[in-house]
Amino acid sequence: MSASFDFAVLERAGAARRGRLTTAHGAIDTPAFMPVGTAGTVKAMLPESVASTGAQIILGNTYHLMLRPGAERVAELGGLHRFMNWPAPILTDSGGYQVMSLASLREIDETGVAFRSHLDGSRHVLTPERSIEIQDLLDADIAMAFDECTQFPATREETAASMALSMRWAARSRLAFRARPGYGVFGIVQGGVFADLRQDSARALRDIGFDGYAVGGLAVGEGQESMFRILDETVRALPAERPRYLMGVGKPADIVGAVLRGIDMFDCVLPTRSGRTAQAFTRRGTINLRNARHADDPAPLDAECACPACANYSRAYLHHLCRCGEILASMLLTWHNLRYYGDLMQGLRAAIASGTLADFVAGFHDAQARSRAAA
């Protein structure tokens, strides 16, 4: 089945690749990090501020937007791009994870999931067809197949049954998707920490035929070693000509390791959530701006970063904002963290293109090790 949008691998460095994904609302250079804009906003950021960090695509969420303000309302107002003033590409999560983690009184069967909203207790039903319909109404460039997010830990039998249900839902999601130029739908590989189940899932999705392939159900407590082992087993079972997306993984070291294993796209709430809790990512490790040692420090947060927090303010001032609970602290630190992630992805792309990826990764890990030693 032909893809609804273009994806080209431009350079390779081992399993790592630099590519370009072209959608109805613009191109995305990969490896790419997608800031999370769950409810139609990246928290504490203006859309143009998000774009200034290097982000070319953001993530929205079916579950949250269907409950508030409603997919039909967003469609009547011109779609999510116009509604939130983000003209660039948008990927929407199918809502499966939020149904499992947030909603109450869930009833799961072959049809889908009936649940009560975490907002007001109202009853809703989400099926593969309805999830895809909502993502269409939102005008998402990339829609995700509806899946069941397997609990962790789970037995092999529980994981196999959950994966099989997700594959049946994936086939229905693909059938429900309305193909048009510049838009695509991704399947989601499940299978927990069992390599053979992951490979079975990847084969099932490949047989259905998707425009891209995501790896779900990782970074849920299995540890980095297990995550990388599963990625090694899964990526080799996915089509090389399609983009690969590792869902919900956002620690810098996890991203670097996943890029080395052939992953192209990432999302995580970590940089934005950390920005709201006084945590800053820097080239020399993570900093807690609440710590008293920053109170008299006139130095910038990260001398190599060009974001407004680093260019215009001292660590002492950022510490003051955090200790006072000022909104500006969340704004500046979120901006900085997203710029750090944008710079990390740009560095990875440049290193792949120039054949210096091994040196880049070695420097990254050396800086991380020095930070841990100094802590």
Q: Is the pLDDT of residue 123 over 50?
A: yes
Indicate if 193 and 248 belong to the same structural domain: yes
DSSP letter assigned to residue 8: E
Q: Is the pLDDT of residue 298 over 90?
A: yes
Q: Residue holding tokens 């130029």?
A: 181
Give the confidence band of 295 by pLDDT, cuts at 50, 70, 90: very high
Give the confidence band of 375 by pLDDT, cuts at 50, 70, 90: low
Indicate if 170 and 290 belong to the same structural domain: no
Indicate if 88 and 228 belong to the same structural domain: yes
Tokens of 108: 């799961």
Query: For position 210, what pLDDT does the model report?
Result: 98
Q: Which residue, of 210, 236, 268, is where some domain finishes? A: 268
CB of 264 closer than 8 Å to CB of 257: no
Indicate if 256 and 322 belong to the same structural domain: no
Active site residues: 93, 267
Count the domains in the chain. Answer: 2
Does residue 322 fall inside a structural domain? yes
Give the confidence band of 329 by pLDDT, cuts at 50, 70, 90: very high
Does residue 264 fall inside a structural domain? yes
Kindly report, residue by residue over 1-20, the tens digit of the pLDDT: 445 789 999 999 999 999 99
Does residue 210 fall inside a structural domain? yes
Q: Residue holding tokens 């599963």?
A: 230
Does residue 128 fall inside a structural domain? yes
Residue by residue, DSSP assigns 129-158 as: HHHHHHHHHHT-SEEE-------SS--HHH
Does residue 186 fall inside a structural domain? yes
CB of 227 closer than 8 Å to CB of 251: no
Dist CA 9 CA 236 (whole Å): 16
Does residue 1 fall inside a structural domain? no
Range of the domain at 254: 6-268
CATH code, 28: 3.20.20.105
CB of 272 closer than 8 Å to CB of 58: no
Kindly report, residue by residue over 214-223, the tens digit of the pLDDT: 999 999 999 9
**Mean pLDDT, residues 280-289 taken together:** 95
Does residue 215 fall inside a structural domain? yes
Q: Which residue, of 201, 234, 268, is where some domain finishes? A: 268
Indicate if 195 and 262 belong to the same structural domain: yes
Give the confidence band of 372 by pLDDT, cuts at 50, 70, 90: confident
Q: Which residue, of 233, 268, 303, is where some domain finishes? A: 268
Indicate if 324 and 232 belong to the same structural domain: no
**Mean pLDDT, residues 276-293 taken together:** 96
Neighbours of 68 (CB within 10 A): 12
Query: For position 3, what pLDDT does the model report?
Result: 54
Percentage of the residues of the chain whose pLDDT score is greater than 90 = 92
Indicate if 104 and 204 belong to the same structural domain: yes
Indicate if 184 and 249 belong to the same structural domain: yes
Indicate if 338 and 321 belong to the same structural domain: yes
Kindly report, residue by residue over 222-251, the tens digit of the pLDDT: 999 999 999 999 999 999 999 999 999 999
Provide the sign of the torsion angle of the four alpha carbons 341, 344, 350, 351, taken in this order.
Answer: negative
Query: For position 308, what pLDDT does the model report?
Result: 98
Q: Is the pLDDT of residue 365 over 60?
A: yes
Indicate if 143 and 288 belong to the same structural domain: no
Q: Is the pLDDT of residue 307 over 90?
A: yes
Indicate if 180 and 302 belong to the same structural domain: no
Indicate if 361 and 264 belong to the same structural domain: no
Does residue 352 fall inside a structural domain? yes
